[in-house]
Structure 1
Amino acid sequence: MTVALGIVAAVAALALLIGVHLYVWRRLVRDTTRPGVVRRVGAGVVVALGVSMVGALVVPKVFGPRGTEWIAWPGFVWMALLLYVVLALGVLELPRLFALRALRRRGGEVSHTAAPVPVPVGAQATGTTGPDPEPAAGASGTPLGPDRRLVLTRSVALLAAGTSLGTVGYGMSQALGAPRTVRVRIPVARLDPRLAGFRIAVVGDIHLGPLLGRAHTTRVVETINRTNPDLVAIVGDLADGTAAQLGGDAAPLRRLSARHGAFFVTGNHDYMSGATDWIAELAELNVRTLANDRLEIARGGAAFDLAGVNDVTGKSHHDGPDFAKTLGNRDPSRPVVLLAHQPVQVKDASRYDVDVQLSGHTHGGQMFPVQLLVKLDQPAVAGLHKVDDTMLYVTRGAGFWGPPVRVGAPPEVTLVELHPM
């Protein structure tokens, strides 16, 4: 049954992909060119870009993230361009139709009022005619016919393409730059005043892979260390590739500096990348994984519990989240800070009286308006929220998945400060 559903989903995705590319070809190529070499070249370019996008999704998974950058870069950049050019064309579709209708109406009016063309005497009677009469204004080949329609369709295509290129260019500058530092103050009812101002550097969704490597990890580590945190929390989705393939790219994590150490919880992409091996790799880098586990964090005679649960994707790997094991039989007088990759896990966290949950997963939507889709699946997209009595903070993450583009969701490292209420 699962295999059948997978096949159906794959066929549906392929049909959608082909349909979207046909739409783009029609609006950007067919409607803007005359039959001939230029149109054929344009069609070939659209096909090649579509193939590169599929290749970017498949080739790194088959052959590994290193050495496949040649297909990942064009394929993923085109994925972003495709999104925004389709959105732009969709917005312009109604104005385009109204303008075409206005052109047809104007051409029809001119044709209706044009002076009659002289006809030789006797032509109707004998059934013979002289030279073909000149076409009326608005007919084929005249300024009010195909030429003006071509100008209109080209203008729409250029506007859509320009908007897409500008948006993606800006988004790439955001995604490929250093993450910004965000500071958030979280009130915690049970927090001992001696722990006031305890600082946790939260980072998620680093996504090492074909487009992000060691230099990216170095930027993230430097940003974290500048915040001088008491503790570092990496809330999942470290890599899109195995530890054997990308372990060297993660090596700068060894330089993380925090008084109480660095901690990690698994994300959905980590399970797709060999979570067990990554946990071992991180241990070598002095990053401890909280796999359905908790420990006491103490300072100045006061303490809170730091806990971490596995991602929900772990269920399919027989390694899912276990809130009872993680949070059962603890001292109820102490507050608990929970690391959980997906915000949706706050539903269970609130039932176990968790004070603060720190999550990632959403990328803040990564590319507007994807945020609207994320809201259908998660209780929060980014920032600080309250769910029952649990404070939920969702970081936008430091990396990206797929397109190297962030629009309306800049990469970030968050310095969370805990304060008593």
Structure 2
Amino acid sequence: MIIVFLLVALLVLAVLGTANLYLWRRLFRDTTRGPGPVRRAGAVLLAAGWGAAVGALVAERTGAPFLLQRVLAWPGFLWLALSLYLLLAVLAGEVLRPLLRRLPARRTRTEAVLPSPAPVPVGASPREPGPREPAPQSPPPRPPADPTRRLFVSRVVAGAAAAAAVGTVGYGTYGVLRGPSVKRVTVPLAKLPRAAHGYRIAVVSDIHLSPVLGRGFAQKVVDTINATRPDLIAVVGDLVDGSVKDLGPAAAPLTRLTARHGSFFVTGNHEYFSGAAQWVEEVRHLGLHPLENARTELPWFDLAGVNDVQGESEGRGPDFARALGDRDTARACVLLAHQPVQIHEAVRHGVDLQLSGHTHGGQLWPGNLIARAANPTVAGLERYGDTQLYVSRGAGAWGPPTRVGAPSDITVIELASLRA
């Protein structure tokens, strides 16, 4: 097992090293005339960026002092996003590079004033020069291509790539910090009574309170949810990335969540990286109702929740039999489960609707391709047999506080009765 881990680690280091050498060459070596401060500054920038990124990840996972986590988080996590889009943009620039080289170069002054050869009458043969006539001079060779052309093309491509990467990451970060938008989705349930037609559940997942997204972000999420005036609020995991000690004050605005039938919470995988037992107690103190493999009977349907699969590492994994085994199957059932992969157990237990998160919709394109390979549904509503699955893209972001191609959201699920 250790050997496999070392081989994987070496492979990752090799890939990262190759990618960064390629970036340095295209962004710094190829855009300068020779060794100098720009090339050295480029090497320092790449090394410092990855140093901050590794430091941010290690500080978060080891529970380093919170101040240190905050100092490292912004530059470190933003660098992860920026380096990804720098690499993609520079690779895209390889397509443009040969096209730019083929553009006609501006004629030099020497070429513009060269005399044209005298015309020869039709049918005349070339005359040999007389003894006193100078031999005709052959046209001078065309001057070689401008030696700065390759440098110019490299600078254009590198500048465009840097601008595209910075613009993409900047806009994606602004989208996260601005706060999630509201999506509205209608879900018909065959067992839902007519009296519950139009029942509204506000679904929020993956808030990821952290050294980057703190109390102000939590307040935006709360205000957005409350503005929808839901009947019930479902927080489906990955609320935090850190301990209660560090992030308890950031989560405090959750006490202001307001819904007619209350707010409910299930754990996500990141809770088990952050002290799940302490966070379950903390959210209870904040006024949310944790559903740890448990069920509550609401007036018109059952609401159940299961722990995240990551809890198996602590002996507190999902227990569908405990949450759903003895329920009245004539009643509609809505299940809160953080990961979409839990849908298969939900189908076996006759759940009508599962509400999940976890995927972030991919968060950073083309991450959606990876998310699609690991999850049955990446985002949105899909049906699996008699069970429907809705996956939220989430309100926050993990790692880089940036989203590209997967905007954050809070979803208002409006239940519809087929009897209405």
User: TM-score normalised to the size of structure 1?
Assistant: 0.87
Counterpart amino acid of residue 16 in structure 2: L
Aligned to 2:187, what secondary structure does the other structure show?
strand
Query: CA offsets per residue over residues 209-246 of structure 1, 9 Å max, x none?
Result: 11011111111111111111111100000111011221
Query: CA offsets per residue over residues 323-344 of structure 1, 9 Å max, x none?
Result: 1221112101001000000111
Query: 1:288 & 1:12 partners in 2: Cα distance?
Result: 44
Counterpart amino acid of residue 171 in structure 2: Y
Aligned to 1:229, what secondary structure does the other structure show?
coil
Query: 1:66 & 1:291 partners in 2: Cα distance?
Result: 32
Taking a change above 3 Å as real, the CA distance of residues 278 and 8 of structure 1, as seen in their structure-2 partners, is farther
Partner of 1:40: 40
Q: Is the CA contact (8 Å cut-off) linking 1:65 and 1:241 kept in structure 2?
A: no
Partner of 2:176: 175
Q: Is the CA contact (8 Å cut-off) linking 1:64 and 1:241 kept in structure 2?
A: no
Partner of 1:399: 396
Aligned to 1:54, what secondary structure does the other structure show?
helix
**Alignment of 1:71 onto 2:68:** no
Partner of 1:329: 326
Query: 1:328 & 1:254 partners in 2: Cα distance?
Result: 32
- Match for residue 340 of structure 1 among 323, 337, 342: 337
Taking a change above 3 Å as real, the CA distance of residues 23 and 319 of structure 1, as seen in their structure-2 partners, is same
Taking a change above 3 Å as real, the CA distance of residues 280 and 184 of structure 1, as seen in their structure-2 partners, is same
Query: 2:59 & 2:143 partners in 1: Cα distance?
Result: 55
**Alignment of 1:361 onto 2:358:** yes
Query: 2:67 & 2:226 partners in 1: Cα distance?
Result: 28
> Shift of residue 37 of structure 1?
2.0
Output the aligned Cα RMSD: 2.3
**Alignment of 1:20 onto 2:19:** yes
**Alignment of 1:203 onto 2:204:** yes
Q: Is the CA contact (8 Å cut-off) linking 1:292 and 1:322 kept in structure 2?
A: yes
Q: Is the CA contact (8 Å cut-off) linking 2:59 and 2:68 kept in structure 1?
A: no
Aligned to 1:385, what secondary structure does the other structure show?
strand
> Shift of residue 403 of structure 1?
0.9
Counterpart amino acid of residue 279 in structure 1: V
Q: Is the CA contact (8 Å cut-off) linking 1:315 and 1:321 kept in structure 2?
A: yes
Counterpart amino acid of residue 42 in structure 2: G
Query: 1:291 & 1:246 partners in 2: Cα distance?
Result: 22
Partner of 1:263: 264
Aligned to 1:176, what secondary structure does the other structure show?
helix
> Shift of residue 14 of structure 1?
2.5
> Shift of residue 176 of structure 1?
0.6
Taking a change above 3 Å as real, the CA distance of residues 326 and 66 of structure 1, as seen in their structure-2 partners, is farther
Partner of 1:280: 281
Taking a change above 3 Å as real, the CA distance of residues 79 and 146 of structure 1, as seen in their structure-2 partners, is farther
Partner of 2:57: 57
Aligned to 2:201, what secondary structure does the other structure show?
strand
Structure 2: 5+ residue runs without aligned partners?
104-139
Partner of 1:88: 89
> Of the two, which has the highest radius of gyration?
2
> Shift of residue 59 of structure 1?
2.1
Q: Is the CA contact (8 Å cut-off) linking 1:60 and 1:66 kept in structure 2?
A: no
Counterparts of 1:3-18 in structure 2 under 5 Å?
Answer: 3-18=2-17
> Shift of residue 7 of structure 1?
3.4
Aligned to 1:381, what secondary structure does the other structure show?
coil
> Shift of residue 45 of structure 1?
1.4
Partner of 2:254: 253
Question: Which 10-residue stretch deviates more, 62-71 or 375-384?
Answer: 62-71
Counterpart amino acid of residue 333 in structure 1: A
Q: What number of residue pairs does the alignment pair up?
A: 386
Counterpart amino acid of residue 7 in structure 1: L
- Match for residue 306 of structure 1 among 277, 280, 303: 303
Partner of 1:418: 415
Aligned to 1:32, what secondary structure does the other structure show?
coil
> Shift of residue 60 of structure 1?
2.9
Query: 1:348 & 1:316 partners in 2: Cα distance?
Result: 19
Structure 1: 5+ residue runs without aligned partners?
104-133, 139-143
**Alignment of 1:244 onto 2:241:** no
Aligned to 1:283, what secondary structure does the other structure show?
helix
**Alignment of 1:379 onto 2:376:** yes
Counterpart amino acid of residue 55 in structure 2: G
Aligned to 1:375, what secondary structure does the other structure show?
helix
> Shift of residue 64 of structure 1?
4.4
> Shift of residue 65 of structure 1?
4.2
Taking a change above 3 Å as real, the CA distance of residues 245 and 5 of structure 1, as seen in their structure-2 partners, is farther
Query: 2:285 & 2:242 partners in 1: Cα distance?
Result: 18
> Shift of residue 137 of structure 1?
3.6
Q: Is the CA contact (8 Å cut-off) linking 1:21 and 1:50 kept in structure 2?
A: no
Aligned to 2:178, what secondary structure does the other structure show?
coil
**Alignment of 1:319 onto 2:316:** yes
Aligned to 2:366, what secondary structure does the other structure show?
coil
Aligned to 2:234, what secondary structure does the other structure show?
strand
Counterpart amino acid of residue 6 in structure 1: F
User: TM-score normalised to the size of structure 2?
Assistant: 0.87
Question: Which 10-residue stretch deviates more, 75-84 or 275-284?
Answer: 75-84
Counterparts of 1:129-208 in structure 2 under 5 Å?
Answer: 137-138=143-144, 144=145, 146-208=147-209
